Amino acid sequence: MLLDEECKSCLYNSQLKKVERQQVGDEKLQLFKNGVRELCENPPKDYCSPLLMRDINEYHRKIFGCGIDYSREKSLFNNLLLKIEDALYAKITASEDPLAEAVKFAMAANYIDFARLSDLDEKAVEYVISSAERAKPDKEAMLKFKNKLCTAKTLCYLHDNCGEIVLDKILIKVIRRLYTQIKVVSVVRGSAIINDVTEADASEVGLYAVSEVINNGTGVPGTYLKEISKQTQQVLYGSDVVISKGLGNLETLYDEGVEAFYVFTCKCEHIAKRFNAPLWDTVFTENYRG
C-alpha cells in the first residue's frame, strides 16, 4: 500500500515526539528534525509506510549513533500483558467459540502501536480488553479460516508489536489445542524497529514454547517481500495458512500475491476507508493470491 499524506504526517509527528523526549534540544535534534521532514516530504514514489519508518530509524542511527529506543515501552507492555495472560487464556478457552474469541483479542491488541500512537500508557491494556469484547470478526472470513485450519499442517504467523504478541501467543495456543496437527512458525523482525517484536522479545514472552520462531532478516517494520530472507520466503509461501498481524505487515503484503488472513486495528483514515470500517475498529479479513 503506497504512502499517502496521512502516513507521512503521522510518522513525522509520532517519531519527533518520541525523540524530543529522549534527546536534549541541541543541534543534533534540529538536524534530525530537518532530515525527517525531508524524508517525509520526498519519499520514493513506490514507498509504503514501513519503508519510510525504516529510513527514519536509520537516519536517527546516523545522527545519534543508535536507532530510536523503544526498549522501555516494549518491556512495559510485554509484562503488562503477561500478567493477565493466564486469566485471558482461561476465559477464551471456556467460551462457546474459543478460536473466534482468541481472534477478537488478537485483533484488538494491534492497538498497541508506537508508530501511530506515541503517547500510549498502561491504560492501553484496558482499551484492548474492552475493544476485544466489542470486536466482530467477519463471519465469512472466520468460516474460511476454520475450514483451512481443519486440513492445514503448517501455519505462518507474521507478528507485529510487543505487548500484542502475548495475545498472538494465546491465539497460537488455542489453534494448537483445537488443531493438533498444525505446526506453527512465528516470524518476527530481523532487528529492532519501533516497538516491533524481535527474537529477544519473543523469548521474553515465552513464544518459543508454542511455535518455532524465525526472524525475517530485515529492519523494515513489516514483511517487505523484496528484502525478507529466503527462509522467510519459504515459510510464507509454503505454509497452508498465513496470519498477518498489524498495519506494517498489511501495508507491505496486501495485494502482493500472498494468500493470508489479516488481523489489525484501523488506526488510519485511509486504512479504514480501504476496508470500509470505522476508524479504530478491528478487522479480520483475507486476501487471495493474485
Q: How many CB atoms lie within 10 A of CB 74?
A: 25
Q: Is the domain covering 71-287 a CATH 3.40.50.10880 domain?
A: yes
Reading the chain (290 residues) residue by residue, the pLDDT tens digits are 666 666 767 777 777 777 877 766 678 888 988 998 899 888 888 898 899 999 999 999 999 999 999 999 999 999 999 999 999 999 999 999 999 999 999 999 998 987 777 678 888 899 999 999 999 999 999 999 999 999 999 999 999 999 999 999 999 999 999 999 999 999 999 999 999 999 999 999 999 999 999 999 999 999 999 999 999 999 999 999 999 999 999 999 998 889 999 999 998 888 899 899 999 899 999 986 44
> Is 285:141 a contact under the CB 8 Å cutoff?
yes
Calculate ∠ Cα 6-141-284, nearest 5°: 35
Calculate ∠ Cα 168-174-175, nearest 5°: 90
Q: In this structure, which amino acid lies at residue 116?
A: R
Collect all residues with Cβ–Cβ distance below 8 Å to 161 and sequence separation of at least 6.
77, 110, 112, 113, 114, 194, 195, 196, 197, 246
Q: Which residues pair with 261 in a beta bridge?
A: 243, 286
CA gap 141, 128 in Å, rounded: 22
Q: Give 234-277 pLDDT, tens digit per residue.
A: 999 999 999 999 999 999 999 888 999 999 999 888 889 989 99
> Is 135:282 a contact under the CB 8 Å cutoff?
yes
CA gap 223, 186 in Å, rounded: 13
Q: Give 16-43 pLDDT, tens digit per residue.
A: 777 877 766 678 888 988 998 899 888 8
> Is 221:242 a contact under the CB 8 Å cutoff?
no
Mean predicted lDDT score pLDDT of the chain: 91
Element (H, E) at 176: helix 164-178
**Residue 169 buriedness (CB in 10 A; 0-12 / 13-18 / 19+):** buried
Calculate ∠ Cα 183-110-122, nearest 5°: 120
Q: Cell 500475491, residue?
A: 257
Please report, for the chain, the start and end positions of each structural domain, with discontinuous segments joined by +. Answer: 5-64, 71-287
CA gap 197, 249 in Å, rounded: 12
Q: Which residues pair with 48 in a beta bridge?
A: none
